[in-house]
Amino acid sequence: MRAVVTVIGKDTVGILANISSACAKHQNNILEVTQSVMQDLFVMIMLIDISKSNIPFTEFSDEMSALGTEMGLSISAMHEDIFNSMHRI
Amino acid sequence: MINTKDIMETITMIQDEHLDVRTITMGISLLDCCDSDIDKVCERVYEKITRYARNLVKTGEDIEKEYGIPIINKRISVTPIAMIVASCNEKNPVRIAITLEKAALACGVNFIGGYSALVQKGFSPGDRELIESIPEAMSVTDHVCSSVNIGSTKAGINMDAVKLMGHTVRRTAELTADRDCIGCAKLVVFCNAPEDNPFMAGAFHGAGEPDCVINVGVSGPGVVRAALAKAGDCDLTSVADIIKKTAFKITRMGQLVALETSKRLNVPFGIVDLSLAPTPAIGDSVAHILEEIGLECCGAHGTTAALALLNDAVKKGGVMASSHVGGLSGAFIPVTEDAGMINAARTGCLRIEKLEAMTAVCSVGLDMINVPGNTPAEVISAIIADEAAIGMVNSKTTAVRLIPAIGKNVGDELSFGGLLGGGPVMQLNTWSPARFISRGGRIPAPMQSLKN
């Protein structure tokens, strides 16, 4: 099972570090990372493997949103199927 | 890796353009709850609903969180209660309405639909008692929704039922006048009612449905409008293509949620309702799509044509995205639930005659329209008859959900809050149809050939 973590907001120090350590804490393996600046916004998209996660994905998703609030960013963790189903036939 | 652009498009649709799954509706058959003793019926109804739907809300919330897609409502639809009441010696359907309300509260759902009767050809035992009890049932419950099917293309229109429904709608408004007549927002009169509709107030679980089923209704007017805005001044062929592509994506998301819910609850997947359902929130309006297509205001000449294009494109785009499509499927035009419609009604650009024409080319019918409080029952009946005739002749579902604003007149406003919204009282034609309505009887089923 894989999920997509999306981070949108103002670029600051430690975004990648904070998110990677949260992933590592819960045994979520980072498979791919892309980052860019779109319309003055920092956008990072991370594909993670959640099959060995030590917490339910709903809790991880909550933790990511909370981390986002704390860092002043919009962070969402969503199951990859939502993107596959919408954009692939 | 999934394309970054695609990921950002989905996130923007959800965060900025109000993309959501409007409802997961669990249909539950109550046919095995029949008994001659109404106490036993109530007991069985409560037990069955709470047993089947106890995990519905939790499952919906989990899926919402895991997939990051808002699921606005979780609802239940049940077998038309008139069929259940028919088996009881004591025909007091309000007791079942109260039971449904308790079951809805116990499960935590937003609405429960199915306080319904199907009388397109005539009244069977229980039907008349149920219809006569609707005003009281709507006033003593908050979550129970009611619908009555008074016509169909195969059966014609039951004008005795139409007459009765005029009085029922008025009485319901009177009994809930202290709450902005909200009872009428939970009561809809259908022609050609679908048996698998997940949307309220008209959801019920038809007799041909399985014991339990999951139906999903999608939404997303904001997404369609944003896609059209991005495209700029293209021709209408391109407009239709953009709507189709957007509807496809919206529906795929609905299909995913439906299959996942069905798997987790171990309940068969029924249908996805391909709908564009507005909310009163800014940026979630069907009227604004029509305005984006090129009308100065919804209700202007050209509205019917633009809506026909929109409705057809939504279906064409959605139908390939789902394995089973059903329910009402199309663009909804509930006036008080749509910021653009509310505005158009306030300015006087959108009138009931135009809305009636619009219902000939889109999903459902005259929906959530506030009418003057002194509107006589026969005028309400005549509006129902007109709308049913459009549905009957065109082999489509039409419906009427009018709210007589007791004590108020044209220009005054009603406010229901939440998804039901609020809006101005609209002007009606005041010439009397009393003699036509008092005749009763049935309008025969129409020809299905020699179409003109």
pLDDT per residue over A5-31, tens digit each? 999 998 888 889 999 999 999 999 999
Q: Determine contact, residues B421/B285, Cβ cutoff 8 Å.
A: no
Decide if B256 and A4 are in contact by the 8 Å CB cutoff.
no
Q: Which residues of B touch A45 (CB under 8 A)?
A: 1, 4, 7
* Residue B320 sits in the same domain as residue B403: yes
Residue B1 domain flag:
no
* Residue B333 sits in the same domain as residue B388: yes
Q: Pick the closest to residue B111 from B99, B95, B120, B100 (CA basis).
A: B100
Q: Which residues of B touch A81 (CB under 8 A)?
A: 67, 256
Give the residue on B whose Cα is nearest the Cα of A46.
Answer: B1
* Residue B152 sits in the same domain as residue B241: no
Q: How far is A13 from chain B (nearest CA, A)?
A: 23
ipTM of this predicted complex?
A: 0.89
Strand B187-191 to B144-152 pairing: parallel
Q: Domain containing A55 — which CATH number?
A: 3.30.70.260
Q: How far apart are CA B406 and CA B427, in angstroms?
A: 14
Rg, Å, chain B Cα set: 21
**A interface residues, B as partner, C-beta within 8 Å:** 4, 6, 8, 31-32, 34, 36, 38, 43, 45, 47, 57-58, 61-62, 74, 76-87
* Residue B166 sits in the same domain as residue B265: no
pLDDT band at B1 (very low <50, low <70, confident <90, very high): low
Model confidence at B299: pLDDT above 70: yes
Decide if A61 and B3 are in contact by the 8 Å CB cutoff.
no
Q: Which residues of A touch B255 (CB under 8 A)?
A: 85
Total domains present in chain B: 2
When scoring B10, B15, B245 by the number of chain A Cβ atoms within 10 A, the one with the most, hence best to mutate, is B10
Tokens 């391909």 — which residue? B274
Residue B29 domain flag:
yes
Q: Determine contact, residues A67/A19, Cβ cutoff 8 Å.
A: yes
pLDDT band at B74 (very low <50, low <70, confident <90, very high): very high
Residue B103 domain flag:
yes
Segment B186-202, tens digit of pLDDT: 999 999 999 999 999 99
Q: Which residues of A touch B62 (CB under 8 A)?
A: 58
Q: What is the pTM of this model?
A: 0.94
Q: Which residues of B touch A79 (CB under 8 A)?
A: 66-68
For residue B59, the enclosing domain spans 25-191
Nearest to A4 among B7, B62, B69 (CB): B7
pLDDT at A56: 93
Q: Domain containing B159 — which CATH number?
A: 3.20.70.20
The answer to whether residue B264 neighbours chain A at the CB level (below 8 Å) is: no
Segment B400-423, tens digit of pLDDT: 999 999 999 999 999 998 899 999
Interface of B with A in 223-252 (CB under 8 A): 249, 252
pLDDT band at A60 (very low <50, low <70, confident <90, very high): very high
Decide if B8 and A87 are in contact by the 8 Å CB cutoff.
no
Q: Which residues of B touch A80 (CB under 8 A)?
A: 2
Strand partners, A62: none
Q: Pick the closest to residue B131 from B179, B81, B197, B186 (CA basis).
A: B81
Residue B204 domain flag:
no
* Residue B225 sits in the same domain as residue B88: no
* Residue B272 sits in the same domain as residue B154: no
Segment B163-177, tens digit of pLDDT: 999 999 999 999 999
Model confidence at B15: pLDDT above 90: no
Stated length of chain A: 89
* Residue B242 sits in the same domain as residue B330: yes
* Residue B292 sits in the same domain as residue B148: no
The residue from B156, B174, B191 where one domain ends is: B191
Residue B335 domain flag:
yes
pLDDT at B378: 97
Q: Determine contact, residues B124/B90, Cβ cutoff 8 Å.
A: no
pLDDT at B198: 94
Residue B381 domain flag:
yes
Residue B258 domain flag:
yes
Q: How far is B248 from chain A (nearest CA, A)?
A: 8
Q: How far apart are CA B305 and CA B309, in angstroms?
A: 6
Total domains present in chain A: 1
* Residue B229 sits in the same domain as residue B323: yes
Residue B56 domain flag:
yes
